Structure 1
Amino acid sequence: MKPYLMAEPALRRLELTITRRLDGLLQGEHLGLVPGPGSEPAESRPYQPGDDVRRMDWNVTARTNEPHVRDLVADRELEIWALLDATASMDFGTVAMEKRELALAALAAVGFLTQRTGNRVGTHLLHGGGVRTLPARTGRPHLMALLQAAFALPRTPPGVPEPLLGTAAEQLGRVVRRRGLVVVLSDFLDEPETWEQPLRRLTARHQVLAVEVLDPRELTLPDVGLLTLVDPETGRRREVATGSARLRRRYAEAAAGQRAAIERSLRRAGAAHLRLRTDRDWVRDLVRYVMRQRRLARLATSPAYDRPTGGGGDVA
């Protein structure tokens, strides 16, 4: 990790950038982060096609002999947990930043814009040394300490075994007791079958936003002659002749298939999906996503709106 990222002035500059461009979008608007309407029970209403059956109000249903669901409202004080993937595959970037830096910036955005209303923020840090938990607390000093700890995580040497994302999600589910918002920041390169079920168990109780970070070189291979590729998690090296158009086409097809599989697994798990790239303005992408989810939330409260099924959309 670059040393300047650990400095207090760097965090302050990041905070200033985030608050200038995003302030007012997330503060006090929990339903802007994910398509769900909130986390606290509200009044019951008749069931409509597409409503989440997990919100069934069985007492009212029994009394009226008609299916009812209980709406949710955003509570005044939200508990937010972030699962940050800082494994070796995240230490990669070919444009403006590494994937880990992008994930940290997204974590800072959520933290800076929600802690001022009294929300508690905690993290699960996944890295080569295992999983480190920082408890959820309020206040700017706690958030700055949390971000400093995330920035200071050391890189994992190649070949060192690392915990799986699914294992960390399972542990987070045991730690987080109160209903709230869970943000998972990762490239999701572990096999989807290892993290899909743990993520689904999280969405059964919490609102979950999956922030997928990627680099353009993970999608396409440039024609740069003989290229040495290194697996950051195993240290294995392989030389590839990138001049082959057939090879580049097969690489792009395989990469597209991998991302499609990740998207399908996140949808099946019921998580909202935001995709951020190291070669794009991540703040603009986050704004677009927030505004889209706020529009969906407003539509969801309209009586004429036919609610869709599923856990949320994605932004490519």
Structure 2
Amino acid sequence: MTAPRLRDLAPEQALRRLEIVIVRRLDGLLQGDHLGLVPGPGSEPAEGREYAAGDDVRAMDWSLTARTAVPHVRDRVADRELETWALVDATASMDFGTGRVEKRDLAVAAVAAVGFLTDRTGNRIGAQIVGGSGARLVPPRTGRPHLLALLRALLDAPRTPQDAPGGRFLGAGADLLRRTAGARRGLAVVVSDFLEPAESWVRPLRLLAVRHQVLAVEVVDPRELTLPDVGLLTVVDPESGRRRDVPTASRRLRERYAAAADERRAAIAAGLRRAGAAHLRLRTDGDWVRDIAWHVMAQRRLAAAAPGPVPGGAA
């Protein structure tokens, strides 16, 4: 029997399910109080280790070196108190899903993963929700009640039949978030399918990354990557409302569709690199808990290996 989707559950049931999955499974995989979502050195001292070629000499632990007679450095961990902002895409294209969940549900899960794993340390989290019905601000606060209220706002974000043609919500949302977050450095998590033209959001994200660490969570559905052979298929663009009959029995058409999808994914990845954002891709038919854990562990290894600041991390 297929498990009910988040939208099929009462808000309290949906949030409770997310919390159980994240705290029991993801927290067990990561084993840490702070979710290191993006690379970059922090300010709190961690364990000492032997010096290796390429290590920053400014991280030398002279006390430990004197006791062991072997050069040692002291690693750093991310700062405990962090202000996190989530920029969440609630446009019509997110109301789609042929996998285990809708893209909108996956966006809520991604924000929940960040929130549940960081709220215990006193971090503040806020959100900017953008879509065809306008932008909604959830100011950053601490505590589990606030986090649950934020996630409930994401679940309750209005669904619009379609967005205004040519709408550029993501870039405008990033500009608004940059002005709202102010000069205090923090983490900005941008959750979207990034289907808007890259030129509309690359520069705003790059400006956001000047003061903040930026993690881009790209949500993808398998039908956006490949087209199955199901005969004549009527498709509707959720953002423009346009309808088209597609003869999916054509092998050439399916190959062209897959090639165009690969090109779009490559353009999105290139745009996020230009913006200086760390990139995490989640699929509606995949194991999003595992994918988040792998991303975090990979970024931790990258941060530990880097002698200095790395792209997408803290300066």
Q: Which of 158, 170, 173 is the equivalent residue of 2:175?
A: 170
Deviation (angstroms), 1:157: 1.4
Aligned position for 1:134: 138
Deviation (angstroms), 1:158: 2.3
Q: Is 1:82–1:183's contact at 8 Å kept on the other side of the alignment? A: yes
Is the deviation greater in 156-165 or in 216-225? 156-165
Q: Is 2:168–2:196's contact at 8 Å kept on the other side of the alignment? A: no
Percent sequence identity over aligned pairs? 66
- Provide the TM-score with structure 2 as the length reference: 0.83
Q: Is 2:34–2:117's contact at 8 Å kept on the other side of the alignment? A: no
> Tell me, what secondary structure is at the counterpart of 1:204?
helix
Deviation (angstroms), 1:225: 0.3
Give the Cα separation in 1 of the matches to 2:259 and 2:21.
Answer: 36
Aligned position for 1:223: 229
Give the Cα separation in 2 of the matches to 1:265 and 1:198.
Answer: 11
Give the Cα separation in 2 of the matches to 1:72 and 1:195.
Answer: 33
The answer to whether structure 1 residue 149 and structure 2 residue 153 are counterparts is yes
The answer to whether structure 1 residue 191 and structure 2 residue 197 are counterparts is yes
1:1-316 equivalences in 2 (<5 Å): 3-23=7-27, 25=30, 27-30=32-35, 32-38=36-42, 74-160=78-164, 162-177=167-182, 178-301=184-307, 310-311=311-312
Give the Cα separation in 2 of the matches to 1:2 and 1:28.
Answer: 27
Q: Is 1:39–1:206's contact at 8 Å kept on the other side of the alignment? A: no
Give the Cα separation in 2 of the matches to 1:107 and 1:142.
Answer: 13
Deviation (angstroms), 1:128: 1.6
Q: Is 1:91–1:155's contact at 8 Å kept on the other side of the alignment? A: yes
Give the Cα separation in 1 of the matches to 2:209 and 2:188.
Answer: 9
- Provide the TM-score with structure 1 as the length reference: 0.83
**Quick one: which amino acid aligns to residue 128 of structure 2?**
H
RMSD of equivalent CA atoms: 2.4
> Tell me, what secondary structure is at the counterpart of 2:234?
strand
Give the Cα separation in 2 of the matches to 1:261 and 1:246.
Answer: 22
**Structure 2: 5+ residue runs without aligned partners?**
45-53, 57-74
Give the Cα separation in 2 of the matches to 1:250 and 1:5.
Answer: 38
Q: Is 2:131–2:163's contact at 8 Å kept on the other side of the alignment? A: no
